[in-house]
A and B are shown apart, each in its own frame.
Chain A
Amino acid sequence: MLRNYIITAIRNLWRNKFFSFINIFGLSIGISCCMLIFLYAKDELSFDHFHEKKHQIYRIVAEIRSPDGKVNKESSTGMAQAPRFEANLPEIEDAVRMELTDFHVRQGSEVIEQSALFVDDRFFSFFSFPLLYGDPKTALQDPHSVVLSEDLALRYFGKTDVLGKTLQLKAGEDFEPFVVSAVVKNLPANSSIKADLFASMKLQEARQGGNLFWMNFYLNTFVTLREGTDLQKTEAAMNRVYNREAAAQISDMAKHYGYNEKVSYHLQPLLKMHLDTDYPTENGVVSGSNPLYSYILMGITGIILLIACINFINLTVARSLKRAKEIGIRKVIGGQRKSLVMQFLGESMILSLFGFVLAIALTCALLPLFNSLSDKALSFSYLLDVRLVLAYIALFLLTSFLAGFYPALVLSAFKPVETLYGKFRFTGKNYLSRGLIVFQFSLTTFLIVATVIVYSQFNYLLGFDLGYEHGRVMRVKTPKMDASQLEVLKNELLKSPSIQTLTAQNGGQWRTIAHVNGDVEQQFDIRGVSGNYFSFFGIPVVMGRNFSAAFPSDSLNSVVVNESFVKAAGWKNPIGETVDFFYENRKCTVIGVIRDYHYSSLLEKVSPQLFSMNPELKYKQVYLKFREGSRPEAIEHARAVVRKLYPAQPYQYDFLDDLIAENYSREAKWKQIISFAAILTIFISCIGLFGLASLSAEKRAKEIGIRKVLGASVSAIMRNTTLDFLLLVLVAACIALPLAWMAGNAWLQNYPYRISLHPFIFVGAALAVVFFALMTVSYQAVKAARSNPVKNLRTE
């Protein structure tokens, strides 16, 4: 019996090659999406599970409560917590600290920058990062030892067996020799901790003179707890220790810096670290992904699978007219409804099997694209996991059943008397199929609108006038320079015609406070700049004046602020106002106001900004404007100058335009994801519509034959058949457009600078959807219109 079913199924598939292919392909797209999302979820959930002590490891995190009730969550601590908590609490078995840092590495004549982690010496016994060479217990005991990853060893020495070799590293002021004491296997992809170079925390401790400070937050502290420890009791004990041992530092901070925040410590389980969005990820811990992404990706693939199954149902039922006769025959020669249900379920399983196999191939092909969309490095071998394989089998069975059950029920109900004697008519107005088409096209319309909105907003952000000139600007990192060293560098750099002008800045910017209007606290972003900063970037001074060499006191006592600062401080006449850096005992005067410009991403509104030429702030970056078309020359010339003047400085440069675009990397990702989803949905919806159109054409074959005989033209018949579907698609558009408008509006609220939604977007999307539908349906319409009426009007 089984053989009979299989033969019938396969020969049927073969006879309707085109339909079968569309069906299988559509299904495989849905299954493939699901497979990819299983991979993704598996990866997300597996982070850090490879550590042996995973159930015992916790990270110490802090909650900082300010007097006005605001709570700030920090995932880092200072140096003191690890040793002091371990010493005072018996339930803490071990504690390690981890700090992100940069070394300069001398490689031959080149100096390169290498990021690294300072870790306590028990690091490799604490975490399960197996060593290729070396002993985890002794690896970092010597302060001048380092541990390399396999990849780094290959890069520096060309082989991995490098125990005992020396590296010249500069951590502080000079290059010192460090000995490689171990080589660690490359850290796995699903580890929250990622590094290639490890150095001893003892070095850091020595540099800080052994002073254990509680009150800053810049490194990660991990502890292992004894089995069965009560978390809350331990946290309470930790806070008691903190309040006791840090009492002096706490009151000192309050007295001198007005720091009245209350700090309490908590334990975050290692396994929760990756997916926890409450605590920021930094300092060597790789950023966890936002679960929102996962949910959205899962939602999208779920919907795509649903649509694929719906299409499967539609197409199968559409073809059923051709099978009606066979069903009648089988019932006459002894088949009962149950056997027919089995037969059709079996057919759907065979189809699903083909779809499944194709899906596996598709998944492998799509994996690179998916990796770039999801910021992961999933490989095919990930697929070979018992749980995953079971999940796939479940998916296969579910799909076969879901997609095959309804058609099996419908088809097995056909009455032989009706089908064999040509009295068969597909009963009802086929509400289910039509409803499904409306659903699919609503989704398509929605996604098209969403894509257009995301694209427009993205391009808007990229093309926005930021209020300063950032084209052809190159940024080069330098060691700390004062004003005279800057002059020397400037003269050397300007020797090349490729470089037009330059300016300098002290590092980045940071947020700080000062007193204005007496003792009102004002928050702002501060930058240290050289005199020609504003003219370099084309930022207009709208009130007062710029820094000037004619006023030597400028460098110590003058500051320039932006318009937002003026507004926040409530000044009517900003020139001459005082800004009191009370914690440095320095009062400065405002000499000028610049126009607001967008110095950070457009995702934030412009904040108050202050500029100073304070010589304490040494310059660490220069900006070069290079001539049109001279970019390579500028790069090379700057490299040569930096090498000549600062041979120990690694040459690092980037371009302002690139940095600005990076701000919107998340938006770029959204753009990719949504267009991908839109394309898939369009494709699958058209498949579905194609099925419905062909069903309709078969149903109406006789009617069309009669109309032709009575004299209807091809175009009249085409009009007739397509109008029906146009209506469905228009209904879909009417449903989707308001929803898309609401969703688009809500999303755009995230951006202080955003596009406005033109009606044109929505009309355009509706037109596009109608266009796709027409293209799909027209094939059937033309075929029907050109068919031979004789064939259709024959009666048995």
Chain B
Amino acid sequence: MITLNHVYKYVNQGGTRVFLLRDINLSIAQGEFISIMGPSGSGKTTLLNVIGMLDEADEGDYLFLDQNVKAMKEKQRSALYKQHIGFVFQAYHLIDELTVYENIETPLLYKNYKSSERSAMVCEMLDKFNMVAKKDLFPHQLSGGQQQLVGIARAIVSKPTLLLADEPTGNLNSAQGQEIMELFKKLNSEGLTIIQVTHSEKNAAYGSRTIHLSDGRIEN
């Protein structure tokens, strides 16, 4: 599903070139549960952003579902990731002015689903995560774990093929974190491809494969 060939990403600081990603070669098949691990500054988040098409590689190829992402225009690219990719952040990043229901609904609005369809899909999510009673609450009224659940619900409500998670349990305590990881496992078994970035060995163990990054390079 995903292939990265000789991907480089760098920034120019003064006269020197600082590499964020060095010669990344990676292949990910559909249905896998990948964990990306590495110390701080190793480029994990950058790699995730490149895969998620939020950022661009400076050199190399990126093939997503056999399509060359780098060669695509902005419009095509955003259409692609809108359709296939959901993102979960460490800081949840919910829209504070919207309720739980509205937060989950928003991506469906951007995809122009009809009102009745939206209603069905959101309710399904709320049910699945046992959040029906909380649908009219605002993010600041929820605990960290609950907010992350909303973030995940929002990411998968439009049924993406790929879920990217950047340290999803980073701001949670161990009990909440475990709950999230169990959920990921379940989603993966239902067919969702998941790539997560994590610090924790314990979390990484939930995955089918682990990739280690160091200084922008894949270690093996």
The one of A1, A15, A326, A420 that contacts B89, using a Cβ cutoff of 8 Å: A420
Residue with the greatest number of chain B CB neighbours at <10 A, chosen from A1, A326, A328, A329: A329
Please determine whether A332 and B91 come into contact, CB atoms closer than 8 angstroms. Answer: no
Please determine whether A417 and B55 come into contact, CB atoms closer than 8 angstroms. Answer: yes
Which residues of A have CB within 8 Å of B95? 8, 326, 329-330
Complex CA gap A339/B78 in Å reads 13
- Residues A4 and B105 in contact in the complex (CB < 8 Å), given A12-B97, A328-B93, A417-B49: yes
Which residues of A have CB within 8 Å of B97? 7-8, 11-12, 15, 326
| Binary interface encoding of chain A residues 696-738 relative to chain B, with 1 for a CB under 8 A from any of its CBs, else 0 | 0000000000000000000000000000000000000000000
Expressed in whole angstroms, the minimum distance between the Cβ of B157 and any Cβ of chain A is 9
Q: Does A650 contact B (CB under 8 A)?
A: no
Q: Does B44 contact A (CB under 8 A)?
A: no
- Residues A420 and B109 in contact in the complex (CB < 8 Å), given A4-B102, A332-B54, A333-B154: no
| Binary interface encoding of chain B residues 90-102 relative to chain A, with 1 for a CB under 8 A from any of its CBs, else 0 | 1101111110001
The one of A1, A12, A332, A336 that contacts B87, using a Cβ cutoff of 8 Å: A332
Interface bin, chain B: 20 to 34
Q: Does A325 contact B (CB under 8 A)?
A: yes
Within 8 A of B (CB), among A333-350: 333-336, 339
Expressed in whole angstroms, the minimum distance between the Cβ of B122 and any Cβ of chain A is 13
Complex CA gap A332/B45 in Å reads 15
Which residues of A have CB within 8 Å of B78? 336
Q: Does B209 contact A (CB under 8 A)?
A: no
Which residues of B have CB within 8 Å of A796? 90-91
Complex CA gap A15/B140 in Å reads 13
The one of A7, A334, A336 that contacts B98, using a Cβ cutoff of 8 Å: A7
Which residues of B have CB within 8 Å of A332? 54, 87, 93
Complex CA gap A333/B155 in Å reads 8
Interface bin, chain A: 20 to 34
Q: Does A421 contact B (CB under 8 A)?
A: yes
Q: Does A592 contact B (CB under 8 A)?
A: no
Expressed in whole angstroms, the minimum distance between the Cβ of A351 and any Cβ of chain B is 15
| Binary interface encoding of chain A residues 259-288 relative to chain B, with 1 for a CB under 8 A from any of its CBs, else 0 | 000000000000000000000000000000
- Which chain A residue has the least Cβ–Cβ distance from B104? A333
Which residues of B have CB within 8 Å of A329? 93-95
Q: Does B106 contact A (CB under 8 A)?
A: yes
- Which chain A residue has the least Cβ–Cβ distance from B138? A11
- Which chain A residue has the least Cβ–Cβ distance from B46? A417
Within 8 A of A (CB), among B121-162: 154-155
Which residues of B have CB within 8 Å of A326? 95-97
Within 8 A of B (CB), among A1-47: 1, 4, 7-8, 11-12, 15
Within 8 A of A (CB), among B57-98: 75, 78, 82, 87, 89-91, 93-98
Within 8 A of A (CB), among B36-53: 45, 49
Please determine whether B54 and A417 come into contact, CB atoms closer than 8 angstroms. Answer: yes
Q: Does A691 contact B (CB under 8 A)?
A: no
Please determine whether A334 and B107 come into contact, CB atoms closer than 8 angstroms. Answer: yes
Which residues of B have CB within 8 Å of A407? none
Complex CA gap A4/B95 in Å reads 11
Complex CA gap A329/B94 in Å reads 7
Q: Does B186 contact A (CB under 8 A)?
A: no
Complex CA gap A336/B97 in Å reads 20
Please determine whether A421 and B45 come into contact, CB atoms closer than 8 angstroms. Answer: yes
Complex CA gap A7/B107 in Å reads 16
Which residues of A have CB within 8 Å of B102? 4, 7
- Which chain A residue has the least Cβ–Cβ distance from B99? A7
Q: Does A355 contact B (CB under 8 A)?
A: no
Q: Does A136 contact B (CB under 8 A)?
A: no
Which residues of A have CB within 8 Å of B98? 4, 7-8, 11
Complex CA gap A325/B139 in Å reads 14
Please determine whether A333 and B90 come into contact, CB atoms closer than 8 angstroms. Answer: no
Residue with the greatest number of chain B CB neighbours at <10 A, chosen from A12, A335, A339: A335
Please determine whether B93 and A1 come into contact, CB atoms closer than 8 angstroms. Answer: no
Which residues of A have CB within 8 Å of B111? 334
Please determine whether B93 and A420 come into contact, CB atoms closer than 8 angstroms. Answer: yes
Q: Does A608 contact B (CB under 8 A)?
A: no
Q: Does A416 contact B (CB under 8 A)?
A: yes
- Residues A416 and B54 in contact in the complex (CB < 8 Å), given A334-B82, A336-B78: yes
Complex CA gap A69/B54 in Å reads 81
Expressed in whole angstroms, the minimum distance between the Cβ of A425 and any Cβ of chain B is 15
The one of A333, A336, A416 that contacts B107, using a Cβ cutoff of 8 Å: A333
Complex CA gap A12/B91 in Å reads 21
- Residues A334 and B110 in contact in the complex (CB < 8 Å), given A4-B105, A417-B55: yes
Expressed in whole angstroms, the minimum distance between the Cβ of B218 and any Cβ of chain A is 21
Complex CA gap A333/B54 in Å reads 11
Please determine whether A333 and B45 come into contact, CB atoms closer than 8 angstroms. Answer: no
Expressed in whole angstroms, the minimum distance between the Cβ of A578 and any Cβ of chain B is 94
Please determine whether B110 and A325 come into contact, CB atoms closer than 8 angstroms. Answer: no
Within 8 A of B (CB), among A52-102: none
Complex CA gap A499/B180 in Å reads 102
26 contacts between A and B (CB under 8 A): A4-B102, A4-B105, A4-B106, A7-B102, A8-B97, A11-B98, A12-B97, A15-B96, A15-B97, A325-B93, A326-B95, A326-B96, A329-B93, A329-B95, A330-B95, A330-B106, A333-B87, A333-B107, A333-B154, A333-B155, A334-B107, A334-B110, A334-B111, A336-B110, A416-B54, A796-B90
Taking A330-B95, A334-B107 as known contacts, 18 extra A-B pairs with beta carbons closer than 8 A to each other, sorted by chain A number, are: A1-B110, A7-B97, A7-B98, A11-B98, A15-B96, A15-B97, A325-B93, A329-B93, A330-B106, A330-B110, A332-B54, A333-B87, A334-B82, A334-B110, A336-B110, A417-B55, A420-B89, A420-B93
Taking Cβ atoms with an 8 Å cutoff, the residues of A that contact B are 1, 4, 7-8, 11-12, 15, 325-326, 328-330, 332-336, 339, 416-417, 420-421, 796
Q: Report, nearest first, the 6 A-B pairs whose CB atoms are least far apart.
A: A334-B110, A11-B97, A333-B107, A334-B82, A1-B109, A329-B93
